[in-house]
């Protein structure tokens, strides 16, 4: 007899319910223990190969480099929790940075400029959410379109030229320190903490997980799915604005090509951290670790003088490995 | 045509999972040319036993012997190769592929071996041949999802036949079928039996089991309770073995209906599948809707709840006309819906019990803008007690609960909202005998408290037992209205067919 490829497991059979085949722990949220261990092992690995890795300056470096990823990936996590995806991260970030920079150049008070940038990114996020939730366009297509539109607008309003020379006080957000701790790192941690709170303890977060877990059940239970989507993507937009703040402050410039490809980092960090692309399962803590892993990888490989393209290759492999391991663990 | 020698013997099968012993030294024997029913409540181990037989699970101890050969399966493909086919309740068909493609999936006739091009003509011919053996003529080119569920089931059985399986396991094959379709399934099953196949028939419906099976085996809590010829044992005996105690003869549940208070009034409702429907439900009344699959029952509930947009019709709640355009509107007016398919529409499986109970209704457990986990757990605890929900903790994912407990979580969700009008679509579908009784008592208690209940069910005994009034639906209309009394069964059934 020839070998059939269909597995006849009926995992949806109602009779399986009584029998807890999976071990107890799998009814808790993603196994962060695994990736923390991975992070530690990775760090040990790099330290052995390049002792300078573990130096104070380098660690601070890694934290700073990861802070932007942490911020935007937190937003991405909330979106992915709803079984959505946001490809417009990079473009919105660039546009938001440009708004901020233009306002700064016009010598408006810095606080106002930051608010303008944040407002802009949040508004764009809300538009994404509106497309997904009310017009019912699939998230992939809606945010793909926004990615192009936002990027185009960025080029148009800057005439394709970067905006340089921002006021000194502004740079504080990117490069400033409070004691030994970089301000960017503090911002990242605060954003992650709030993100975690939102996901676990607010209506918006619970709705996001419910929609990602079973949108129809959520709708039939009275969740206003359309409105919830707008809020979810708007929150994500807000985090992109904060990310723009950090990046623009660090580079002391806003350029229309900024952030290209950043959406991949955001999604990768979330996925490595255990957030499921199918929605319904998400962890901001995992995303933070995921971001740290990405930053550690890049940093370590650079210290070892690995060429940038090989770095990209390594990171790609790591992402696949992380998802693969996660699949095995949850069997 | 029963051979006394068993074609298959599963002996002393034991299987443990963390925390429970699913099967404890279970014996199961199967003869060729017989229909053998496997009975037991949810969690009794029927599904585990069959998964072991079909290669999805390995037993901890025990042996499987088929025609004198000791068998060991590492994966389902091995069982299929040995001649054992499993047709699950949820029908593992590829919905977008045609019937022909599904039947020969994995064994398609190939031309030009290297290129792997499928020989379409040969494929269709072979598919027709198998379907012909079952006495079926259907469109084999249409994607199977467009066929009626009963036809899809036939296609699934044809797939098993094509593999020349000696043993067929049918898991709850009748749950989505109408009476006529069940009869067709049964005649095909009998035909296969007469040709020498051995068929394992798993079902919750005892009356069907007694109609179709030659022998039956009962499991309870993983322990073998006995194997009997169907003529040698009574309905009540079997139920007693399944549940461990004798069930009281089904009595009617009685409660006061508030005649003056019309909780829900529906007039001229029309939607896809419903032509013109008018009815009232009073406070404290249980109105049962009985009818065949496809008569429009689910559509009526969904339209009233705003899950689907009605084309026409007016709804009055407590005397006031309301407009319901979405579930949120319905909920605001005090309605609740227990859907037919709890996994796909009623629950977020990978979320905790407390979260599912509070789904969309976080305000009561919020404190200063944030959900208070203690309050949420408290709510879960309250319903755990009230509804007797068996759970390991308020945050356990509902995925791991039994069907009956899942259904209770959904009920808790609506009770938490204090819904005064409950719409229930097949509320006891796929729930074991003991949990069903609990549910009946719950429904009755709710009616006594004044809740208006509109319940769709395809189990006539259940409908008659619980309802104050029965509406019979046929072809999108209400074909008859009855106040149930024993002896009316045939009249009611007649109106439905």
Q: CA B452, CA B331: separation in Å to the nearest integer? A: 14
Find the residue in A nearest to B87 (Cα). Answer: A8
Asked whether residue B246 carries a pLDDT value surpassing 50, the answer given is no
Q: CA B288, CA B456: separation in Å to the nearest integer? A: 6
Q: CA B465, CA B468: separation in Å to the nearest integer? A: 9
pTM above 0.90, yes or no: no
Q: Is A56 exposed, middle or buried (0-12, 13-18, 19+ CB in 10 A)?
A: exposed
* Of B136-150, B303-317, B330-344, the least confident: B136-150
Q: CA B497, CA B493: separation in Å to the nearest integer? A: 6
pLDDT in tens, B116-131: 777 888 888 888 888 8
pLDDT category at A26 given cuts 50, 70, 90 is very low
- Tell whether A135 lies on the interface with B, counting CB pairs under 8 A: no
- Tell whether B397 lies on the interface with A, counting CB pairs under 8 A: yes
Residue to mutate among B75, B350, B431, with most A CBs inside 10 A, is B350
The single-letter DSSP state of residue B360 is T
- Tell whether A19 lies on the interface with B, counting CB pairs under 8 A: yes
A222 compared with A193, residue with greater pLDDT? A193
Say what the pLDDT of residue B392 is: 84
Q: CA A218, CA B345: separation in Å to the nearest integer? A: 8
- Our separate counts of H helices and E strands in chain A read 12, 4
Q: CA B25, CA A290: separation in Å to the nearest integer? A: 47
Contact list, A27 vs chain B (CB under 8 Å): 352, 395-397, 399-400
Cβ distance of A214 and B413 shorter than 8 Å: no
pLDDT in tens, A206-254: 999 999 999 988 998 889 999 999 999 999 999 999 999 999 988 889 9
By C-alpha distance, which of B493, B439, B422 is closest to B464? B493
Partner-chain residue, chosen from B90, B92, B351, that has the shortest CB–CB distance to A280: B351
Say what the pLDDT of residue B393 is: 87
pLDDT in tens, B389-404: 888 888 888 888 888 8
Residue B353 · residue B442 · CB < 8 Å: no
Say what the pLDDT of residue A12 is: 36
């Amino acid at each position: 007899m020839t070998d059939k490829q269909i597995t006849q497991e009926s995992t949806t059979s109602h009779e399986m319910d009584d029998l807890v085949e999976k071990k107890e722990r799998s009814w808790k949220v993603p196994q962060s223990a695994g990736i923390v261990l991975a992070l530690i092992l990775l760090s040990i690995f790099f330290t052995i190969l390049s002792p300078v890795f573990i130096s104070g300056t380098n660690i601070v470096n890694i934290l700073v480099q990861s802070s932007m990823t942490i911020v935007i990936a937190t937003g991405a996590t909330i979106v992915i929790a709803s079984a959505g995806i946001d490809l417009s991260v990079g473009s919105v970030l660039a546009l938001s940075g440009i708004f901020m920079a233009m306002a700064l150049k016009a010598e408006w008070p810095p606080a106002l400029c930051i608010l303008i940038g944040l407002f802009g990114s949040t508004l764009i996020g809300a538009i994404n959410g509106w497309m997904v939730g009310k017009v019912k366009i699939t998230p992939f297509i809606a945010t793909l379109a926004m990615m192009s539109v936002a990027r185009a607008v960025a080029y148009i309003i800057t005439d394709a030229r970067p905006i340089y020379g921002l006021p000194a006080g502004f740079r504080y957000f990117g490069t400033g320190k409070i004691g030994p701790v970089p301000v960017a790192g503090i911002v990242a941690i605060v954003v992650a903490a709030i993100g975690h709170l939102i996901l676990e303890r607010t209506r918006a977060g619970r709705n996001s997980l419910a929609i990602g877990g079973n949108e129809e059940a959520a709708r039939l239970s009275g969740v206003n799915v359309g409105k919830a989507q707008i809020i979810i993507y708007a929150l994500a937009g807000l985090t992109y604005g904060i990310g723009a703040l950090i990046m623009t402050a660090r580079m002391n410039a806003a350029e229309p090509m900024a952030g290209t490809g950043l959406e991949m980092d955001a999604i990768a960090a979330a996925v490595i951290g255990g957030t499921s692309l199918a929605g319904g399962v998400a962890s901001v803590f995992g995303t933070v670790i995921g971001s740290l892993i990405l930053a550690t990888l890049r940093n370590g490989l650079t210290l070892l003088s690995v060429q940038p393209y090989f770095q990209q290759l390594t990171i790609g492999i790591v992402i696949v490995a992380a998802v693969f391991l996660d699949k095995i663990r949850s069997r | 045509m029963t051979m006394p020698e068993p074609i298959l013997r599963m002996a002393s099968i034991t299987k443990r999972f963390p925390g429970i012993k699913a099967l404890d030294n279970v014996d199961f024997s199967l003869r060729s040319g017989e229909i053998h029913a496997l009975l037991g409540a949810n969690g009794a181990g029927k599904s585990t036993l069959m998964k072991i037989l079909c290669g999805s699970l390995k037993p901890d101890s025990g042996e499987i012997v088929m025609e004198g050969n000791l068998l060991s399966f590492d994966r389902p493909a091995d069982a299929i190769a040995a001649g054992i086919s499993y047709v699950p309740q949820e029908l593992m068909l590829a919905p977008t592929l045609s019937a022909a493609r599904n039947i020969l999936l994995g064994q398609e006739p190939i031309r030009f071996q290297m290129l792997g091009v499928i020989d379409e003509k040969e494929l269709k011919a072979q598919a027709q041949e198998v379907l012909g053996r079952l006495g079926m003529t259907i469109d084999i080119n249409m994607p199977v999802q467009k066929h009626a569920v009963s036809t899809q089931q036939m296609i699934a059985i044809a797939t098993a036949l094509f593999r020349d399986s000696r043993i067929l396991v049918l898991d709850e094959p009748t749950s989505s079928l109408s009476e006529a379709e069940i009869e067709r399934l049964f005649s095909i099953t009998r035909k296969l039996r007469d040709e020498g196949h051995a068929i394992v028939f798993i079902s919750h419906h005892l009356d069907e089991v007694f109609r179709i099976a030659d022998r039956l085996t009962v499991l309870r809590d993983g322990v073998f309770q006995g194997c009997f010829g169907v003529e040698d044992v009574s309905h009540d005996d079997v139920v007693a073995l399944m549940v461990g105690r004798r069930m009281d003869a089904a009595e009617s549940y009685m409660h006061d209906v508030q005649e003056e208070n019309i909780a829900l009034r529906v007039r001229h409702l029309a939607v896809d599948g419903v032509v013109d429907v008018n009815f009232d439900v009073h406070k404290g009344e249980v109105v049962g809707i009985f009818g065949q699959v496809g008569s429009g029952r689910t559509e009526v509930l969904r339209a009233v709840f705003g899950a689907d947009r009605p084309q026409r019709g007016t709804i009055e709640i407590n005397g006031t006309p309301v407009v319901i355009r979405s579930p949120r509107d319905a909920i605001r007016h005090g309605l609740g819906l227990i859907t037919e398919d709890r996994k796909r529409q009623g629950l977020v499986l990978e979320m905790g019990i407390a979260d599912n109970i509070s789904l969309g209704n976080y305000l009561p457990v919020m404190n200063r803008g944030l959900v208070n986990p203690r309050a949420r757990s408290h709510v879960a605890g309250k319903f755990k007690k009230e509804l007797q929900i068996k759970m390991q903790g308020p945050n356990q994912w509902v995925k791991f609960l039994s069907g009956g407990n899942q259904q209770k979580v959904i009920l808790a969700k609506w009770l938490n909202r204090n819904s005064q009008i409950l719409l229930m679509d097949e509320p006891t579908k796929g729930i074991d005998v003991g949990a069903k009784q609990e549910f009946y008592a719950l429904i009755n208690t709710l009616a006594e408290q004044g809740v208006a209940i509109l319940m769709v069910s395809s189990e006539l005994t259940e409908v008659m037992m619980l309802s104050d009034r029965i509406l019979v639906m046929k072809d999108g209309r209400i074909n008859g209205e009855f106040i149930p009394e024993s002896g009316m069964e045939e009249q009611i059934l007649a109106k439905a067919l």
